[in-house]
Amino acid sequence: MFVRKVSIPFAARSVLQRTLHSNRVLYSQPDNSKPSETKPADFKLAESKSAESKPAQPTPVDSKTPSPESKKTQEPDDEKIEYFGNTRFPKFRAKPRRTITPGDAIGQATPTVKPAPQTLKEQAQQKWRDILSPEKNLESRARIIHDIGHSYFQDIVDLRDNGDKLFEAPKQLIRSSKAHYLPSVSGKTLAGQTTDVIDLCRGKTTLLAVNFNKFSEQHTNSFIDPFEAAFAGSEDAQVVRLNIEENWAKAMVLQMCLPYLRRHTPKDRHANYLIHYGDVEGLRKSMGIANSLIGYVFLIDKELRVRWYANGLAVMSEAQSMVMLTQRLIPNKKK
Protein backbone atom coordinates (compact mmCIF):
# COMPACT_ATOMS: atom_id res chain seq x y z
CA MET A 1 0.00 0.00 0.00
CA PHE A 2 1.39 3.28 -1.07
CA VAL A 3 1.09 6.51 0.88
CA ARG A 4 1.03 9.37 -1.56
CA LYS A 5 2.58 12.63 -0.43
CA VAL A 6 0.43 15.63 -1.10
CA SER A 7 2.37 18.79 -2.02
CA ILE A 8 0.72 21.91 -0.65
CA PRO A 9 1.50 25.22 -2.38
CA PHE A 10 3.50 27.79 -0.44
CA ALA A 11 0.63 30.33 -0.21
CA ALA A 12 -1.86 27.71 1.00
CA ARG A 13 0.67 26.33 3.47
CA SER A 14 1.30 29.81 4.99
CA VAL A 15 -2.47 30.42 5.33
CA LEU A 16 -2.91 27.05 7.00
CA GLN A 17 -0.07 27.75 9.44
CA ARG A 18 -1.55 31.11 10.41
CA THR A 19 -5.00 29.53 10.91
CA LEU A 20 -3.60 26.78 13.14
CA HIS A 21 -1.59 29.34 15.13
CA SER A 22 -4.61 31.59 15.70
CA ASN A 23 -6.77 28.63 16.78
CA ARG A 24 -4.07 27.45 19.14
CA VAL A 25 -3.83 30.91 20.74
CA LEU A 26 -7.62 31.24 20.92
CA TYR A 27 -8.25 27.89 22.64
CA SER A 28 -5.21 28.18 24.93
CA GLN A 29 -6.58 31.30 26.66
CA PRO A 30 -8.50 30.54 29.87
CA ASP A 31 -12.18 31.40 29.91
CA ASN A 32 -12.62 33.96 32.66
CA SER A 33 -16.24 34.63 31.93
CA LYS A 34 -18.52 33.76 34.84
CA PRO A 35 -22.22 32.85 34.45
CA SER A 36 -24.40 35.86 35.24
CA GLU A 37 -26.60 35.38 38.26
CA THR A 38 -30.24 35.99 37.38
CA LYS A 39 -32.10 38.13 39.83
CA PRO A 40 -35.84 38.55 40.10
CA ALA A 41 -37.45 41.64 38.59
CA ASP A 42 -38.73 43.03 41.91
CA PHE A 43 -35.23 42.77 43.43
CA LYS A 44 -33.72 44.71 40.50
CA LEU A 45 -36.36 47.43 40.90
CA ALA A 46 -35.67 47.81 44.62
CA GLU A 47 -31.95 47.94 43.99
CA SER A 48 -32.33 50.73 41.42
CA LYS A 49 -34.52 52.80 43.77
CA SER A 50 -32.02 52.53 46.63
CA ALA A 51 -29.22 53.62 44.31
CA GLU A 52 -31.20 56.70 43.24
CA SER A 53 -31.95 57.67 46.86
CA LYS A 54 -28.31 57.56 47.97
CA PRO A 55 -26.14 60.55 46.97
CA ALA A 56 -23.19 59.81 44.78
CA GLN A 57 -19.98 59.79 46.81
CA PRO A 58 -16.72 60.79 45.13
CA THR A 59 -14.22 58.01 44.75
CA PRO A 60 -11.15 58.56 46.94
CA VAL A 61 -8.01 59.41 45.04
CA ASP A 62 -4.76 58.12 46.43
CA SER A 63 -1.99 60.66 46.04
CA LYS A 64 0.62 57.92 46.04
CA THR A 65 -0.78 56.18 42.97
CA PRO A 66 -0.09 58.37 39.93
CA SER A 67 -2.55 58.64 37.10
CA PRO A 68 -1.79 57.09 33.70
CA GLU A 69 -1.10 60.57 32.29
CA SER A 70 1.42 61.33 35.01
CA LYS A 71 3.08 57.98 34.40
CA LYS A 72 3.72 59.00 30.83
CA THR A 73 5.30 62.26 31.91
CA GLN A 74 7.39 60.62 34.63
CA GLU A 75 9.11 58.18 32.28
CA PRO A 76 12.85 58.90 32.23
CA ASP A 77 14.49 59.75 28.97
CA ASP A 78 17.01 56.93 29.43
CA GLU A 79 14.30 54.33 28.73
CA LYS A 80 13.35 55.91 25.40
CA ILE A 81 15.17 54.43 22.43
CA GLU A 82 15.68 56.46 19.28
CA TYR A 83 16.00 54.73 15.93
CA PHE A 84 17.42 55.63 12.53
CA GLY A 85 14.43 56.76 10.45
CA ASN A 86 11.90 53.95 9.96
CA THR A 87 14.38 51.19 10.76
CA ARG A 88 14.72 49.25 14.00
CA PHE A 89 18.41 50.04 14.42
CA PRO A 90 18.92 52.09 17.62
CA LYS A 91 20.94 55.26 17.42
CA PHE A 92 24.35 55.34 19.09
CA ARG A 93 24.15 57.17 22.44
CA ALA A 94 27.13 58.77 24.11
CA LYS A 95 28.42 57.39 27.38
CA PRO A 96 28.45 59.71 30.38
CA ARG A 97 31.62 61.75 30.68
CA ARG A 98 34.13 60.80 33.33
CA THR A 99 35.84 64.07 34.04
CA ILE A 100 37.96 65.27 36.91
CA THR A 101 36.75 67.74 39.51
CA PRO A 102 38.06 71.25 38.77
CA GLY A 103 40.82 72.09 41.22
CA ASP A 104 41.98 68.51 41.85
CA ALA A 105 45.64 67.70 41.42
CA ILE A 106 46.46 66.01 38.12
CA GLY A 107 49.63 64.41 36.83
CA GLN A 108 51.88 61.81 38.39
CA ALA A 109 52.70 61.82 42.07
CA THR A 110 56.48 61.57 41.64
CA PRO A 111 58.77 63.38 39.21
CA THR A 112 59.91 61.53 36.11
CA VAL A 113 63.32 59.88 36.31
CA LYS A 114 64.79 59.56 32.83
CA PRO A 115 66.44 56.16 32.23
CA ALA A 116 70.00 55.94 31.04
CA PRO A 117 70.46 55.73 27.25
CA GLN A 118 70.58 52.15 25.94
CA THR A 119 72.39 50.58 23.04
CA LEU A 120 70.60 48.62 20.33
CA LYS A 121 71.55 45.34 21.99
CA GLU A 122 70.18 46.48 25.36
CA GLN A 123 66.98 47.70 23.71
CA ALA A 124 66.49 44.29 22.03
CA GLN A 125 67.08 42.48 25.33
CA GLN A 126 64.60 44.75 27.10
CA LYS A 127 62.05 44.15 24.35
CA TRP A 128 62.46 40.39 24.74
CA ARG A 129 62.03 40.64 28.51
CA ASP A 130 58.81 42.65 28.01
CA ILE A 131 57.47 39.95 25.69
CA LEU A 132 58.06 37.24 28.30
CA SER A 133 56.84 39.34 31.23
CA PRO A 134 53.34 38.38 32.51
CA GLU A 135 52.79 41.91 33.85
CA LYS A 136 53.51 43.50 30.46
CA ASN A 137 51.21 40.98 28.77
CA LEU A 138 48.38 41.85 31.14
CA GLU A 139 48.91 45.55 30.46
CA SER A 140 48.81 45.03 26.70
CA ARG A 141 45.70 42.85 27.06
CA ALA A 142 43.94 45.54 29.10
CA ARG A 143 44.90 48.11 26.46
CA ILE A 144 43.47 45.95 23.67
CA ILE A 145 40.22 45.40 25.58
CA HIS A 146 39.93 49.14 26.11
CA ASP A 147 40.48 49.85 22.41
CA ILE A 148 37.82 47.30 21.45
CA GLY A 149 35.27 48.77 23.88
CA HIS A 150 35.97 52.37 22.85
CA SER A 151 34.23 53.29 19.62
CA TYR A 152 35.94 55.42 17.01
CA PHE A 153 32.91 57.73 16.96
CA GLN A 154 32.59 57.93 20.76
CA ASP A 155 34.34 61.31 20.99
CA ILE A 156 32.25 62.70 18.12
CA VAL A 157 28.97 61.68 19.76
CA ASP A 158 30.17 62.98 23.12
CA LEU A 159 31.07 66.32 21.52
CA ARG A 160 27.67 66.52 19.84
CA ASP A 161 25.66 65.71 22.97
CA ASN A 162 27.76 67.41 25.70
CA GLY A 163 29.54 70.25 23.92
CA ASP A 164 33.20 71.20 23.60
CA LYS A 165 33.67 72.22 27.25
CA LEU A 166 34.26 69.70 30.01
CA PHE A 167 34.18 72.25 32.84
CA GLU A 168 35.14 75.83 33.60
CA ALA A 169 38.72 76.23 34.73
CA PRO A 170 39.43 76.89 38.45
CA LYS A 171 40.30 80.43 39.51
CA GLN A 172 43.04 79.46 41.96
CA LEU A 173 46.37 77.71 41.67
CA ILE A 174 46.84 74.21 42.99
CA ARG A 175 49.02 74.38 46.08
CA SER A 176 52.63 73.46 45.48
CA SER A 177 52.47 70.88 48.30
CA LYS A 178 49.52 69.08 46.65
CA ALA A 179 50.42 69.59 42.99
CA HIS A 180 51.56 66.59 40.93
CA TYR A 181 54.25 66.41 38.27
CA LEU A 182 54.08 66.48 34.51
CA PRO A 183 54.39 63.03 32.87
CA SER A 184 57.12 62.30 30.35
CA VAL A 185 56.25 62.36 26.65
CA SER A 186 59.05 62.15 24.10
CA GLY A 187 58.92 63.29 20.52
CA LYS A 188 60.56 65.34 17.81
CA THR A 189 60.33 69.11 17.43
CA LEU A 190 59.78 70.98 14.20
CA ALA A 191 63.45 71.98 14.43
CA GLY A 192 64.37 68.30 14.08
CA GLN A 193 65.55 67.71 17.67
CA THR A 194 64.48 64.60 19.58
CA THR A 195 63.61 65.60 23.13
CA ASP A 196 61.06 65.26 25.93
CA VAL A 197 58.30 67.59 27.03
CA ILE A 198 59.74 67.80 30.54
CA ASP A 199 63.03 69.07 29.10
CA LEU A 200 61.20 71.80 27.21
CA CYS A 201 59.21 72.90 30.29
CA ARG A 202 62.01 72.73 32.88
CA GLY A 203 63.18 76.03 34.36
CA LYS A 204 60.37 78.26 33.05
CA THR A 205 56.71 78.88 33.75
CA THR A 206 55.13 77.13 30.78
CA LEU A 207 51.71 77.09 29.20
CA LEU A 208 51.54 73.59 27.74
CA ALA A 209 48.99 73.22 24.91
CA VAL A 210 47.98 69.63 24.02
CA ASN A 211 46.30 68.89 20.68
CA PHE A 212 45.21 65.64 19.09
CA ASN A 213 43.82 67.07 15.83
CA LYS A 214 43.31 70.22 13.81
CA PHE A 215 39.88 70.91 15.32
CA SER A 216 41.28 71.34 18.83
CA GLU A 217 43.82 73.98 17.78
CA GLN A 218 41.17 76.69 17.92
CA HIS A 219 40.63 75.79 21.59
CA THR A 220 44.28 76.05 22.58
CA ASN A 221 44.82 79.19 20.47
CA SER A 222 42.11 80.95 22.48
CA PHE A 223 44.40 80.57 25.53
CA ILE A 224 47.75 81.03 23.78
CA ASP A 225 46.89 84.40 22.20
CA PRO A 226 46.16 86.25 25.50
CA PHE A 227 49.11 84.49 27.16
CA GLU A 228 51.57 85.67 24.52
CA ALA A 229 50.07 89.16 24.51
CA ALA A 230 50.56 89.45 28.29
CA PHE A 231 54.05 87.92 28.48
CA ALA A 232 55.61 88.95 25.18
CA GLY A 233 59.38 89.24 25.57
CA SER A 234 59.42 87.60 29.01
CA GLU A 235 62.30 85.22 29.65
CA ASP A 236 60.48 83.42 32.48
CA ALA A 237 57.33 82.44 30.58
CA GLN A 238 56.95 80.38 27.43
CA VAL A 239 54.46 78.38 25.36
CA VAL A 240 55.04 74.72 24.47
CA ARG A 241 52.82 72.92 21.98
CA LEU A 242 52.40 69.14 22.10
CA ASN A 243 50.86 67.57 19.00
CA ILE A 244 49.90 63.92 19.56
CA GLU A 245 48.93 61.40 16.91
CA GLU A 246 47.99 57.94 18.18
CA ASN A 247 46.80 56.41 14.90
CA TRP A 248 49.66 54.97 12.85
CA ALA A 249 47.88 55.64 9.55
CA LYS A 250 47.28 59.29 10.42
CA ALA A 251 50.85 59.52 11.69
CA MET A 252 52.11 58.71 8.18
CA VAL A 253 49.93 61.49 6.76
CA LEU A 254 51.19 63.91 9.42
CA GLN A 255 54.80 63.11 8.56
CA MET A 256 54.13 63.95 4.93
CA CYS A 257 52.53 67.25 6.00
CA LEU A 258 55.47 68.36 8.15
CA PRO A 259 56.85 70.76 5.51
CA TYR A 260 53.45 72.48 5.36
CA LEU A 261 53.38 72.66 9.16
CA ARG A 262 56.86 74.21 9.30
CA ARG A 263 55.98 76.86 6.72
CA HIS A 264 52.84 77.95 8.60
CA THR A 265 54.51 77.99 12.02
CA PRO A 266 56.85 80.87 12.93
CA LYS A 267 60.50 79.82 13.13
CA ASP A 268 60.87 81.04 16.69
CA ARG A 269 58.27 78.44 17.75
CA HIS A 270 59.81 75.42 16.02
CA ALA A 271 61.97 74.53 19.01
CA ASN A 272 58.90 74.44 21.35
CA TYR A 273 56.60 72.52 18.99
CA LEU A 274 56.82 68.82 19.91
CA ILE A 275 55.22 66.02 17.87
CA HIS A 276 54.61 62.61 19.43
CA TYR A 277 53.58 59.45 17.55
CA GLY A 278 52.08 56.60 19.54
CA ASP A 279 49.77 55.69 22.39
CA VAL A 280 49.49 58.10 25.35
CA GLU A 281 46.93 56.32 27.51
CA GLY A 282 48.99 57.04 30.64
CA LEU A 283 48.97 60.76 29.82
CA ARG A 284 45.20 60.68 29.26
CA LYS A 285 44.46 59.13 32.63
CA SER A 286 46.88 61.22 34.67
CA MET A 287 46.04 64.58 33.04
CA GLY A 288 42.25 64.14 32.87
CA ILE A 289 41.95 64.09 29.07
CA ALA A 290 38.43 62.76 28.44
CA ASN A 291 37.90 63.68 24.77
CA SER A 292 40.60 63.88 22.12
CA LEU A 293 38.59 66.36 20.02
CA ILE A 294 38.97 69.04 22.70
CA GLY A 295 42.08 71.15 23.25
CA TYR A 296 43.75 71.25 26.69
CA VAL A 297 46.14 73.74 28.30
CA PHE A 298 48.18 73.25 31.46
CA LEU A 299 50.13 75.80 33.47
CA ILE A 300 53.44 74.25 34.54
CA ASP A 301 55.76 75.89 37.08
CA LYS A 302 59.57 75.76 37.06
CA GLU A 303 59.61 72.52 39.07
CA LEU A 304 57.44 70.77 36.46
CA ARG A 305 54.33 70.74 38.66
CA VAL A 306 50.86 71.16 37.14
CA ARG A 307 49.38 74.20 38.89
CA TRP A 308 46.36 75.05 36.68
CA TYR A 309 44.50 73.61 33.69
CA ALA A 310 41.64 74.40 31.29
CA ASN A 311 39.96 72.96 28.21
CA GLY A 312 37.81 73.96 25.25
CA LEU A 313 37.35 77.52 24.05
CA ALA A 314 38.58 80.11 26.53
CA VAL A 315 36.03 82.24 28.36
CA MET A 316 36.98 85.82 29.28
CA SER A 317 37.16 84.94 32.98
CA GLU A 318 39.41 81.94 32.24
CA ALA A 319 41.85 84.04 30.20
CA GLN A 320 42.02 86.67 32.95
CA SER A 321 42.57 83.99 35.61
CA MET A 322 45.32 82.40 33.51
CA VAL A 323 47.24 85.69 33.19
CA MET A 324 46.80 86.55 36.86
CA LEU A 325 47.93 83.10 38.06
CA THR A 326 50.94 83.15 35.74
CA GLN A 327 52.00 86.47 37.22
CA ARG A 328 51.95 84.83 40.67
CA LEU A 329 54.31 82.15 39.41
CA ILE A 330 56.65 84.84 38.02
CA PRO A 331 57.35 87.15 40.98
CA ASN A 332 60.23 88.92 39.25
CA LYS A 333 58.24 89.92 36.19
CA LYS A 334 58.80 93.58 35.31
CA LYS A 335 55.62 95.57 34.98
Q: 145-189 pLDDT, tens per residue?
A: 877 777 778 888 888 888 888 889 999 999 999 999 999 999 999
**Could you tell me which residue, 54 or 99, shows the higher pLDDT?**
99
Q: Are 305 and 179 in contact (CB under 8 A)?
A: yes
Q: Are 182 and 308 in contact (CB under 8 A)?
A: no
78: Cα separation from own chain's centroid: 18
Average pLDDT over residues 188-214: 93
Q: Which residue from 307, 317, 310 is spatially nearest to 165, judged by alpha carbons?
A: 310
What pLDDT is stored for residue 257 in this prediction? 86
Q: Are 198 and 112 in contact (CB under 8 A)?
A: yes
Residues, the chain: 335
What pLDDT is stored for residue 300 in this prediction? 95
Average pLDDT over residues 132-143: 88
- Distance from C-alpha of 180 to C-alpha of 230, rounded to nearest angstrom: 26
Angle at 23 between CA 21 and CA 24, to 5 degrees: 65
For residue 89, what pLDDT band results from cuts at 50, 70 and 90? Answer: low
Average pLDDT over residues 71-87: 50
**Could you tell me which residue, 218 or 36, shows the higher pLDDT?**
218
What pLDDT is stored for residue 150 in this prediction? 72
The CA distances from residue 95 to 99, 151, 155, 255, in Å, are: 12, 11, 10, 33
What single-letter DSSP state applies at residue 190? T
Average pLDDT over residues 30-52: 50
Q: Which residue from 246, 233, 227 is spatially nearest to 308, judged by alpha carbons?
A: 227
pTM: 0.68
What pLDDT is stored for residue 3 in this prediction? 47
Residue 51 DSSP SS3: helix
Q: Are 306 and 198 in contact (CB under 8 A)?
A: no
**Could you tell me which residue, 212 or 84, shows the higher pLDDT?**
212
Average pLDDT over residues 286-299: 92
Q: Which residues have C-beta within 8 Å of that of residue 107, sequence separation ≥ 6?
A: 179, 180, 181, 182, 183, 286, 287, 305, 306
Give the strand pairing for 194-196 and 306-311: unpaired
Average pLDDT over residues 86-114: 74
- pLDDT exceeds cutoff 50 at 103: yes
Q: For 90-104, 148-162, 276-290, which range has the lowest pLDDT when averaged over its residues?
A: 90-104
For residue 75, what pLDDT band results from cuts at 50, 70 and 90? Answer: very low
Q: For 95-109, 161-175, 261-275, 318-332, which range has the lowest pLDDT when averaged over its residues?
A: 95-109
Secondary structure element (H or E) that encloses residue 248, with its range: helix 248-256
Of 36-45, 74-83, 112-121, 319-328, where does the model show the most confidence? 319-328
Average pLDDT over residues 23-40: 50
What pLDDT is stored for residue 197 in this prediction? 93
What pLDDT is stored for residue 66 in this prediction? 52
For residue 195, what pLDDT band results from cuts at 50, 70 and 90? Answer: very high
- Distance from C-alpha of 195 to C-alpha of 272, rounded to nearest angstrom: 10
What pLDDT is stored for residue 321 in this prediction? 94
Order of strands across the sheet with 273-277? 194-196, 186-189, 273-277, 237-245, 205-211, 296-300, 306-311
